[in-house]
């Protein structure tokens, strides 16, 4: 069994915020893969389903971001899970918008949701870091992550979320490479095979002692040098 956790803040006020991209990710997985309806449990919302034969619990903590660890810890104890069974989807300031990277363990980099998780379950869980970009100055971070994605970012956001959903079965099986490639196929980051180069046209055979023609006109012109000179003055 795997526990996929999306981080965010509850309520319609925060639904479109950059800080809620984790909620958006697990919502997309639930919708695309026929998961059960969301229900209240573990101080959050839970949906159950299967991905490639692996049972997966989706969890959206509703304790607000800075207390997310309470909800996750409660779910882990109920299902008797280890941190290695847990994957957390969260916004990441240190990645460009709509770029994605996987990580296991390490620090929380000031992210309040991750800080809370560290306190309740340790740091050995898996993470899907969802890039939202940085506003440029630390004093602007709070307002930035608690603001909605811009309208013109809608297509990029949709592509990323659909890519995450496409790759979710691979993630459930622990195949991070196939997961990230599935996302890249949606977002345009996948490596495409280079087209075959056309074979070069072989040069005409040249025999020793023969003059080399420099152009089609030269090859067709069989006049003597004297005739060429006389023709210039006609």
Task: Write down the domain spans for the chain.
Answer: 2-187
Q: Tell me, what's the pLDDT at 220?
A: 47
Q: Tell me, what's the pLDDT at 221?
A: 54
Laid out side by side, the sheet with 44-51 consists of 39-41, 44-51, 54-61, 2-6, 86-92, 126-131, 100-104
19 belongs to the catalytic site? yes
Q: Tell me, what's the pLDDT at 214?
A: 42
pLDDT classification of 110: cutoffs 50, 70, 90: confident
Rounded average pLDDT over 76-87: 97
Rounded average pLDDT over 141-166: 96
Q: Tell me, what's the pLDDT at 109?
A: 87
What is the percentage of the chain residues whose pLDDT exceeds 90? 79
Q: With H, G, I as helix, E, B as strand and everything else as coil, classify residue 3.
A: strand
The 8-class DSSP code of residue 160 comes to H
What is the percentage of the chain residues whose pLDDT exceeds 70? 80
Q: Tell me, what's the pLDDT at 195?
A: 43
pLDDT at 47 over 60: yes
Q: Tell me, what's the pLDDT at 226?
A: 62
Task: Return the biggest CA–CA distance within the chain.
Answer: 104
Rounded average pLDDT over 151-165: 96
Rounded average pLDDT over 8-20: 96
Please give the Cα distance from 201 to 32 (Å, whole number): 51
Q: Tell me, what's the pLDDT at 213?
A: 44
Name which of 42-46, 148-152, 182-186, 221-225 the model is least confident about. 221-225
Catalytic residue among 19, 33, 90, 126: 19
CATH class of 2-187: alpha beta
């Amino acid at each position: 069994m795997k526990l996929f956790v999306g981080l965010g803040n509850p309520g319609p006020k925060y639904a479109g915020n950059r800080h809620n991209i984790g909620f958006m990710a697990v919502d997309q997985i639930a919708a695309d893969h026929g998961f059960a309806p969301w229900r209240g449990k573990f101080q959050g919302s839970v949906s159950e389903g299967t991905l490639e034969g692996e049972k997966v619990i989706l969890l959206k903590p509703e304790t607000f971001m800075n207390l997310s660890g309470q909800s996750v810890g409660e779910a882990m104890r109920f299902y008797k899970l280890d941190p290695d069974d847990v994957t957390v989807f969260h916004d990441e300031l240190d990645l460009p918008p709509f770029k994605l990277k996987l990580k296991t363990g390490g620090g929380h980099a000031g992210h309040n949701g991750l800080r809370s998780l560290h306190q309740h379950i340790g740091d050995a869980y898996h993470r899907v870091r969802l890039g939202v970009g940085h506003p440029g100055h630390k004093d602007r971070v709070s307002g930035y992550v608690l603001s909605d994605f811009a309208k013109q970012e809608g297509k990029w956001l949709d592509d990323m979320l659909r890519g995450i959903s496409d790759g979710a079965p691979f993630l459930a099986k622990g195949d991070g490479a196939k997961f990230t490639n599935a996302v890249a196929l949606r977002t345009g980051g996948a490596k495409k095979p280079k087209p075959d180069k056309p074979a070069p046209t072989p040069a005409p055979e040249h025999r020793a002692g023969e003059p080399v023609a420099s152009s089609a006109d030269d090859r067709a012109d069989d006049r003597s040098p004297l005739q060429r000179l006389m023709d210039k003055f006609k």
